[in-house]
Amino acid sequence: MPDRGGGPPSGPRIRVGRPSRRVRTLLLTLGVLAVLLMAFTMFAGFWTDWLWYRSVNYSSVFTTTLWTKIGLFFVFGLLMALAVGFNIWLAHRLRPPLSAMSMEQQNLDRYRMGIAPYKKWLLLGITALVGLIAGASASGQWRTWLMWVNGVPFGQKDPQFKLDVSFYAFDLPWYRFLLGFGFAAVIISVIAAALTHYLYGGLRVTSPGARATAAATGHLSVLLGVFVAFKAVAYWLDRYGLAVKSSDFKATDNWTGLRYVDANAYLPAKTILFCIAVICALLFFATLWRRTWQLSVIGFGLMVLSAILIGGLYPALVQKFQVQPNEQAKEAPYVEKNLAATRDAYGIEGTQVSEYPGRSETKDKTKLRDDVDTAASIRIMDPNIISPTFQQLQQMRNYYAFPTNLDVDRYAKDGKDQDTVIGLRELNLAGIPKKNWINNHFRYTHGYGAVAAKGTQVDPEGRPVFTESDLPSEGDLGKYEQRIYYGEKTTTYSIVGGPQKEIDYSDDTGEKTFSYKGDGGVDLSNPINRAAYAAAFSEPQILYSGAIGEGSKILYNRTPKERVEAVAPWLTIDGDAYPAVVDGRIQWIVDAYTTTNGYPYASRTTLGDTTADSLTAANDQRAVVAQQNQVNYIRNSVKATVDAYSGDVKLYQWDTKDPVLKTWMKAFPDTVKDKSEISSELMAHLRYPQDLFKVQRELLTRYHVKDANTFLSGSEVWQVPDDPTNKSGDAVPPYYLSMKMPDQKQQAFSLTTTFTPNGRDNLSAFMSVDAEAGTGDYGKIRILKLPTSTTVDGPKQVQSQFNSEQDIAESIRLLRGGDSEVEYGNLLTVPLDGGLLYVEPVYVRGGDLKYPLLRKVLVSYGGNTAFENTLDEALNKVFGAQAAEPEPPEDTGEDPGQDTTEPPPTSTNPTVREALADAQEAFDAGQKALEQKDLTGYAEAQKDLEKALQRAEDAQAKADQGAGDKNGDDKASPSASPSKEAGGGSDTG
C-alpha cells in the first residue's frame, strides 16, 4: 500500500526570488513619480497662495507670515532636536562598562546588538522627528510672536500688580509658550535619557544592588532640577495669571481677575510655592556632588505636599470661613475693579443710562400722532423678509439671485437721507440653463446691478417702492459699474478675460457679452501658473483647455469676508458685509475687529454665542469669523472695503487709539490705510457694526450697573429677549432705524434693541447706539431704563397681545385662508413721549404667489392696539387722531413726481395691462371681503389675484424673450410691470 503518512508534498516547487530588473525599475519609477507629484502639489499650494496675495497687493502679509512661521519652525525645531539629541548622546557616553553584566542587562544585549550598526542614523531620526513636531507646533504661534515683538503699551495699568495691560495681552502669552516648550523639551529629554541609560546599563529595574550608576544619577538629577526650575517659573507667572484667570462667579460666568480668595490666599501661596520650587531645584542640582537622591526626593515630596496644602486646601479654607460668611463685603472691592475693567475693555464705559417712565402723560392725541413722524422713520420693509419679493420682481434671469437677508443703508434724496433696503443681483450658478465646465467657470461669471427700495413705503399691492431697479439697473443711484464679480453668493472660481466671452446680461435684443478688463485675478497665460492651479483646484482642464489664452485670469476667494480675512488674518470679521454704491463703484463694506483675551480683570465672552440671534441661526453666512472665540477686549478698529468688480481690498484704520491695531500695524506695515483716506461718500455709508453691538448688549445685561453691591445681588440683571416674530427661541436681532432718543433734537441712524428682566417678559430697558459714522455722537450708547415698580409690556407680551385680540386673530385667520402664509416682520420699538411705540409689518405669501407682500401693519402704544392695511391707518386708530397734512410743495414747474393714488402705466403690452387690471380688481375684492369677515370670498379673491399676477408675469416674460409680441420701444423686463407699479405706490410710512 502507498505510504499515506507525513512527507513533502508532491508536485513542482515554486521558488520565490527577487523581482526582475524590469519590475524593480518600474517600482522605482513609480516611487519617484509619486514623490515628484507630492512635491509639486505642495509647491502648487504655496505658489498659488503667493500669486493670489500678489494680485491683491498684499504680498507683504504673505511673506511676513511665511518667514515668521519658517523662523519659528527652524529655531524651536532645532532647539528641541538639540536638547533631545544631546541628552541621548550624553546618556550613551556615560554608559557603564559591560564586563560585569547582570542577567537583566544580558537580556537587553540583543537589542543593543541590533541597533549598534544604526546608532547614528537612529539618533538623527529621533532628533529629526521631535524637531519636526516641535517646529510645526511653534510655527502655529506666529501671532503670539508678532504681538510680543511688536507690542505697544496700552497706557493703562492693572489694579493689582501695576503693570501695563500690554504685559498681559502681548508678553504673558509668549512667556507661557516658552515655558510650555521648555517643559516639553525637558520631559522628552528625561524619557529619552532614561531609556538610553536603561538600555546600556546605567539604570537597573530588577537587578539587585544599586539602581543607577553615579553618572546616570547625576544626569537625570540635572534634568529633573531643570524641570523643577521651570515649575518655579510657572508659579511666578501664575501670580500674574490670576489677573486674567477665568472662573465662574455667582455674579457672572467667565469672570476674569482676582477675587478675595485669589488676592489673600492664592497669591501668597504661589509666592511660597515659587520659593519651595527654587529650593527643590537646587537640591536636585546638588545631587551632582552628593550622588544620592535622598534630599532631592524629600524636597520634591515637600513641594508636592505644599502644592496640595498651600495651593489647594488653604484657599478653600479661606473661601469657606472668611469669604462665604460675609461674601458681599469681601468681594465688593474686587467686583468694582472687574466692573471698571470690563466696561473699558468692551467700549461701554461711556454708556448713558437714563430713567424712562414707560408711559406717556400727554393727553393731546393729535400731538402724539404728529410726534410719531419726528420720532422715527419707521421702516416697514423688513430686509430679512422681503428677499423673495426682490427675487421675484427683480431677478430677471434664473442665474441671478439675491442674498437671503438684504441690508439696510441710507441714501440721500432731495437733500434728505432715507432708510433704504438694498441687495445685489448676484450670480446664481444653480440657475444656469445648462451646466458644464465652460458655462460654470467661463460664461456665467458675474452678477449685475444693485436693487434698492424705500424702507418706509410700499405700493398699493404691498410691494416695495423701488428706487433702483430693472436690468441694467436704473434709478436714484446714478451711473456706476454694475458688474458683480465678488459677492456673498460667489463661492466658486471663474476664468475671465481670455478668448472665451462671458454673458454680461440679457435684454429684449438678446444676450450681451463681455470680457473682463479689471485688475483683479491671477494671470493664467503662464504655463507654470496653469499647472499650479490645475493641481491646486484638482482640475486638469485648466492645464490644456483652449478656452484659456492670452489675457485669461482666474478669480477666486471671492466673498468679501473671505478676502478681508485672507489679507488681514489677525482680524475678526463681522458677520454682515453689506454693499453700497460709492464713487461710481459697488463696494462691499466689511467691519473688522481686533481682540484679545488678556485684558486683566475684564470678564470674557464667547463671540460665537453672544453674536448669535434668530438671523444667524437661519443663515450661517451671517456668523462672525473669529480668530479668538473667547475674548475680553474688542474694538471695531478697521473698516474694510471690497470692490465688487475688481476685488480690490482696502483696510482703513478706524479706531486710532487701539493698541492692538497699532501692534498689528507694526507687524504688517503699509497694510492699513490712514483714517483720513476715507472719502466723504464712503463715510456716508459706514455704520456701527451689528456684532460689536450684540457683544456690548450682552455685557450690558449685567454691566449697566456701576455699584458692586447691586451687581452682586443680581437684582438688576437683564436678558436679551427671544425673537417674538418666530418660534426659534433665538435672541431678537438688533435693528437699524432712523430715530430720535429723548435727549436728541433730530433723528439719527441708529441700531436698537430691547431688554427684559431675567426670567420675565416685561420690558426693562431700551438700548440704542448712534450708528451714523462721521457724526460727533457716533458710537454713543444710550439706555432708557424703565421703572421696576410698574410693568411695561415687552416684545413677547406685545406679540401675544397682537395674537390674542379677537379681531386681530380673526383677521390673521382670514389672511391665512386659501393656502396663504402669514409672516411677521421686525417688531420695531420706538420711544415716544415717555411711552414706547411698537410697530410690526405683517406679510402674506399666497399659495402660488412665491413672494411676501405687505398686507397689514400692527401698532401698539399705551395698551392700544391697531391692525390696519397701512401704517398711517394703524397709527390713526391707535391715537384716535390723524396726522396733520403736510404743506404742499412749491410749484417749481418740474414734474412733481408720481401720483400717490393711482400707479402709472407700466407696460404697453395689452395682455399685461389687462392682467394687472384684473389683479387690482381681485385685490380690492379681497380687501372688501376681509372687512366683512367673509372667509370664502377672501380666499376666492386671493386665488384670482394670484392667477392675474401670474398671467401678467408670464405675458411679460414671453414678450421679453422674443416669443411674444413686442411693442415698439417698450423694454419692460419679465417683472418690470409689478416693480414699476411699485414705484407709484402710496407712502404708508
Cβ atoms of 579 and 422 within 8 Å: the answer is yes
Which residues lie below 8 Å from residue 4, measured CB to CB, with a gap of 6+? none
Secondary structure E strands in 490-567? 494-496, 502-507, 510-514, 522-523, 553-555
Residue 288 is predicted with a pLDDT of 79
Residue 977 is predicted with a pLDDT of 36
Residue 18 is predicted with a pLDDT of 61
Q: Over the range 456-465, which residues count as b (16 or more CB within 10 Å of their CB) and which as e?
A: bbbbbbbbbb
Size of the chain in residues: 989
Residue 106 is predicted with a pLDDT of 65
The C-alpha cell 524590469 sits at 22
Answer whether residue 926 shows pLDDT above 60.
yes
Answer whether residue 733 shows pLDDT above 90.
yes
Answer whether residue 1 shows pLDDT above 60.
no
Residue 767 CA to residue 757 CA, distance in Å, equals 14
Could you give phi then psi for residue 836, rounded to 5 degrees?
-130, 125
Grade residue 252 by pLDDT with cuts at 50, 70 and 90.
low
Grade residue 898 by pLDDT with cuts at 50, 70 and 90.
very low
Could you give phi then psi for residue 301, rounded to 5 degrees?
-60, -40
Secondary structure E strands in 416-486? 416-424, 426-427, 447-448, 450-458, 464-469, 474-475, 483-484
Quote the cell numbers at residue 876.
390713526
- Taking only the tens place, the pLDDT of each residue in 620-669 is 778 888 878 899 999 999 999 999 999 999 999 999 999 999 999 999 99
Which residues lie below 8 Å from residue 462, measured CB to CB, with a gap of 6+? 843, 844, 853, 854, 855
Cis amide bond preceding 472, omega within 30 = yes
Q: What is the mean pLDDT of residues 901-905?
A: 37
Residue 811 is predicted with a pLDDT of 85
Would the pTM of this model clear 0.75, i.e. be above it?
A: yes
The residues that bridge with 424 in the sheet, in sequence order, are 450
From residue 325, alpha-carbon distances to 265, 320, 331, 952 in Å are 17, 8, 11, 78
The C-alpha cell 466673498 sits at 559
- Taking only the tens place, the pLDDT of each residue in 738-777 is 999 999 999 999 999 999 998 899 999 999 999 999 889 9
Residue 895 is predicted with a pLDDT of 39
Grade residue 902 by pLDDT with cuts at 50, 70 and 90.
very low
- Taking only the tens place, the pLDDT of each residue in 30-74 is 888 888 777 877 888 899 999 999 999 999 999 999 999 999 999
The alpha helices in 805-841, defined as continuous H runs, are 806-815
Residue 598 is predicted with a pLDDT of 94
Residue 643 CA to residue 577 CA, distance in Å, equals 12
> How many C-beta neighbours within 10 Å does residue 700 have?
23
Q: What is the mean pLDDT of residues 963-974?
A: 38
Answer whether residue 119 shows pLDDT above 60.
yes
Answer whether residue 963 shows pLDDT above 60.
no
Grade residue 700 by pLDDT with cuts at 50, 70 and 90.
very high
DSSP letter at 906 equals -
Grade residue 314 by pLDDT with cuts at 50, 70 and 90.
very high
- Taking only the tens place, the pLDDT of each residue in 184-224 is 999 999 999 999 988 887 787 665 556 788 888 889 999 99
Grade residue 958 by pLDDT with cuts at 50, 70 and 90.
low
Answer whether residue 938 shows pLDDT above 50.
yes
Residue 306 CA to residue 545 CA, distance in Å, equals 73
Residue 637 is predicted with a pLDDT of 97
Grade residue 885 by pLDDT with cuts at 50, 70 and 90.
low
Percent of the chain with pLDDT over 70: 87
